[in-house]
Amino acid sequence: MRRAQHLLGALWGRLADNFTLKLLSLGLAVVLWVVVLGEQKAEVVLNVPLDVGQIPRNLMVINDPVEFVALKVRGPRSLVLALAPNEVTLGGNFARAVKEGDNYLNLSPEQFQVPRGVEVLSVSPGRVRLVLEPVDERRLEVIPKFRGDLAKGFSLGEIRVNPKEVRVVGPQG
């Protein structure tokens, strides 16, 4: 019994020795543990707006292409969870490669620019269809059309239109 008390006293003495330094070491270990846990890899799916660049002025898109693509990204948890869709951009300008008619744009993870430390694993859809037609411009005369009958006791006076014509821009087809 006496020996156990002696050992317990010696152990307590060692624990109390440099107590501040030991407490500081414990605190530092906890902080490092939290940082390492926070930097574990995470995977997230982001819906990113798809911008194919400036379409040539003489062409216009006539179909409804997808507006967003789903990107699966992986990286440090703190970075990936804070990543906003507007921080991801599509590298290059597809508009240079498009022509009149059907165009199919193949999308791959390598084409997207993301912050350092983050990688794009997959893109969905991997292919986007753009249908382009030449732009046509016409001037059309404004001709008012009236429906129904005037109320009793009223008559239609002079009809004036301003502007007399309008410029309309749309697909040629």
Which pLDDT tens digit goes with each residue over 28-69?
A: 888 888 777 666 888 999 999 988 777 888 899 999 989 999
For residue 138, pLDDT beyond 90:
yes
Domain ranges, residue 8: 2-37
Looking at the structure, tell me whether residues 45 and 80 fall in a common domain.
yes
Write the CATH number for 127: 2.170.120.30
The reply to whether the predicted model has a pTM over 0.75 is no
79 or 9, which is more confident? 79
For residue 20, pLDDT beyond 70:
yes
Distance from C-alpha of 96 to C-alpha of 61, rounded to nearest angstrom: 14
Q: Across 13-126, where does the E strand assignment appear?
A: 41-49, 59-61, 68-76, 89-90, 101-106, 112-113, 119-124
Average pLDDT estimate for 132-142: 93
Looking at the structure, tell me whether residues 32 and 70 fall in a common domain.
no
Distance from C-alpha of 2 to C-alpha of 7, rounded to nearest angstrom: 9
Question: Binning pLDDT at 50, 70 and 90, where does residue 136 land?
Answer: very high
How much is the mean pLDDT over the chain?
Answer: 87
Q: Which pLDDT tens digit goes with each residue over 91-131?
A: 877 777 889 999 999 999 999 999 998 999 999 999 999 99
Choose among 45, 48, 50, 49: nearest CA to 73: 45
Average pLDDT estimate for 123-147: 92
* φ/ψ of residue 121, rounded to 5: -90, -40
Looking at the structure, tell me whether residues 49 and 128 fall in a common domain.
yes
Pull the structure tokens for residue 6.
């002696």
- What pLDDT, on the 0 to 100 scale, is given for residue 38? 61
Pull the structure tokens for residue 53.
């660049």
Distance from C-alpha of 124 to C-alpha of 112, rounded to nearest angstrom: 12
Burial of residue 119 (number of CB atoms within 10 Å: 0-12, 13-18, 19+): middle
Contact yes or no for 144/159 (Cβ under 8 A):
yes
Distance from C-alpha of 35 to C-alpha of 27, rounded to nearest angstrom: 13
Q: How many domains does the chain have?
A: 2
Per the domain annotation, does 169 fall within a domain? no
Looking at the structure, tell me whether residues 33 and 49 fall in a common domain.
no
C-alpha separations of 135 from 9, 55, 56, 106, 131 in Å: 92, 11, 10, 25, 13
Percentage of the chain surpassing pLDDT 90? 42
For residue 77, pLDDT beyond 90:
no
- What pLDDT, on the 0 to 100 scale, is given for residue 71? 96
For residue 163, pLDDT beyond 90:
yes
Distance from C-alpha of 25 to C-alpha of 17, rounded to nearest angstrom: 14
- What pLDDT, on the 0 to 100 scale, is given for residue 11? 74
- What pLDDT, on the 0 to 100 scale, is given for residue 69? 95
